[in-house]
Structure 1
Amino acid sequence: MGLYEFFYEYFIRPIQENQGYNPVNTVVYAIILGIAVLLLYKMLKRMEIRVDGRFFKALVPYIVLGPLMRSMTDVGVLPRTYLTVSPGGYFVIAAFAIASLYIVWRHCPGEKLYPLYQDFGWVLVGGLLFLLVINLDKVSFNWEVFKYFIPALVIAEGAVWMLAKKVPVIADNSVLFYTHFYDATTTFIGIQFFGYWEQHVLARWLIDTFGTAAIMYLEKFLILLPVVWILDRWMADEDPDLINFVKLTVFILGFGPGTRNLLIMLMGG
């Protein structure tokens, strides 16, 4: 198998035929994500931008862009291409977010950076929402999703709340656990009640093995717990901005897919 055939087999065809992820592209994308996190962290340090509440608030619209674009692609509002589905779509959003941040920083450094960067992000979200509104004929809203989603979410987040009372490291990172249990809930509801399927390799194997998408809660917990333990205990002496940026990445990896799943179900994708 030549280089082109290898790339086509493991990276292009899965997107063309909607096959989901495979072990090869999963590992490659994970490596790319790790490298990107380190490079972006160094970029923020050079720009003297702290990874704090102000930065997170300004980043919110860009976090929303990814799942909104993906869900609009699945319902046919946007064309299905490598640049509109994952992971290509997230590369595009990341490029917009980074380029916007750099441009705003170059022209408005200091305190003015955050609100201007946030406003530009909301303009992009507004553009996508405008496209959605003028193409509502392609959307078949399914409000029945909430009948299953809300009770399951209350139970899942209640479990996190109880665990946070007993385990300090969970209490210190409760937002991450709430976010990833929200993601697990959207996966569980979509697969268990609406006939969707899981794209990720490990999660797909676990669901097939145990026969229920409820296993996603355990998977999320068993992956997230050691991650936050390492960040808070083993890496306690590292730069707080690095720890915060890694946690921000973990948050996005839960909020983005979870919101995408919910929007796709609601819009009948």
Structure 2
Amino acid sequence: MGLQEFFQRYFVDPIKYNQGYNPVNTLVYAIILGIAVLLLYRFLKRLGVKVDERFFVALMPYIFLGPLMRAMTDVGMLPRTYLTVSPGGYFVIAAFAIASLLVVWRHVGTGEKLYPLYRDVGFLLVGGLLFILIINLDKVNFRWEYFKYFIPSLLVAEAFIWTLSRKFELIRNNRLLFYTHFYDATTTFVGIQFFGYWEQHVLARTLIDLTGTAAVMYLEKLIILLPIVWILDVEMKDEDPDLINFVKLAMFILGFGPGTRNLLITLMGVGR
């Protein structure tokens, strides 16, 4: 197999034909993500931007931008290209977020004005997409019955995390991450179990096939999250706290982004 055929089979065709992820592109994307996290962390350090609660709040519009763009692409409001579906869509949103931060930083520096202004630029971008959504509402077939399954499932899932957080300090100290990823697991569970969707990621798809239920997503989240937060909080406790916070921010995005995408796609009646 030549290099061009290899790239076509494992990277182009899965996007072009909506085949989901495979072991090869999953590994490559994971490596790219790890490198990107380190490079972005160094970029923020050079700008003097602290990875704290202010930055997290300011970044939220950009985190929401990706799932919204993907849902609008799948429903036909935006053209389906390599830049509007994953993983290309994530690079586009990251580029917008970085460019916006750089522009704001050049104008106001790293003072208190940086964070609210950066947040407001993000809201403008979200507002632009929402405007396109509003003028194209005729293309959307909302499934309001989605909440009949989603809300009870989410309440049970988050109650489980709340119970664990009362008993285990590691979960209590990282409960936002666990709440977020159980939200993601819930959107996957509801979409697959009640609306006939399928899982695109290799590991999750394999576990669902083996167990026969998408409820296994909750177990997968625990198995993945627990060792990661233990390494960050215990093994790396003497490392730069900004680095730890940024890694946790990346983990939050990996839960909130796909979860919100799943919710919007199912709610907006996008085909299976």
- TM-score w.r.t. the length of structure 1 is 0.99
Matched, 1:244 2:245: yes
Q: CA shift at 1:118, angstroms?
A: 0.6
Aligned to 1:119: 120
| SS of equivalent residue, structure 1 residue 19 | coil
Aligned to 1:228: 229
After TM superposition, the structure 1 stretch with the greater mean CA deviation from structure 2, 1-10 or 173-182, is: 1-10
Alpha-carbon distance between aligned partners in 1 of 2:13 and 2:139, rounded to the nearest angstrom: 26
Q: CA shift at 1:250, angstroms?
A: 0.3
Aligned to 2:154: 153
Give the counterpart letter for 2:85 in structure 1: V
Q: CA shift at 1:46, angstroms?
A: 0.8
Aligned to 2:106: 106
Q: CA shift at 1:219, angstroms?
A: 0.1
Q: CA shift at 1:224, angstroms?
A: 0.3
After TM superposition, the structure 1 stretch with the greater mean CA deviation from structure 2, 61-70 or 99-108, is: 99-108
- After TM superposition, list the pairs within 5 Å mapping 1:248-259 onto structure 2: 248-259=249-260
Task: List, as ranges, runs of 4+ consecutive aligned residues in structure 1 with deviation greater than 6 Å.
Answer: none
Give the counterpart letter for 2:183 in structure 1: Y
Aligned to 2:204: 203
Aligned to 2:179: 178
Aligned residues: 269
Give the superposed CA RMSD: 0.6
Q: CA shift at 1:172, angstroms?
A: 0.2
Alpha-carbon distance between aligned partners in 2 of 1:245 and 1:71, rounded to the nearest angstrom: 26
| SS of equivalent residue, structure 1 residue 111 | coil
Alpha-carbon distance between aligned partners in 1 of 2:39 and 2:268, rounded to the nearest angstrom: 36
Give the counterpart letter for 1:193 in structure 2: F
The runs of 5 or more residues in structure 1 that have no matched partner are none
Give the counterpart letter for 2:57 in structure 1: K
Alpha-carbon distance between aligned partners in 1 of 2:64 and 2:95, rounded to the nearest angstrom: 14
Aligned to 2:82: 82
Aligned to 2:72: 72
Residues 107-148 of structure 1: CA deviation (Å, up to 9, x unaligned) = 111221111111110000000000111111110000000000
The runs of 5 or more residues in structure 2 that have no matched partner are none
The sequence identity of aligned pairs, in percent, is 76
Matched, 1:190 2:191: yes
| SS of equivalent residue, structure 2 residue 48 | coil
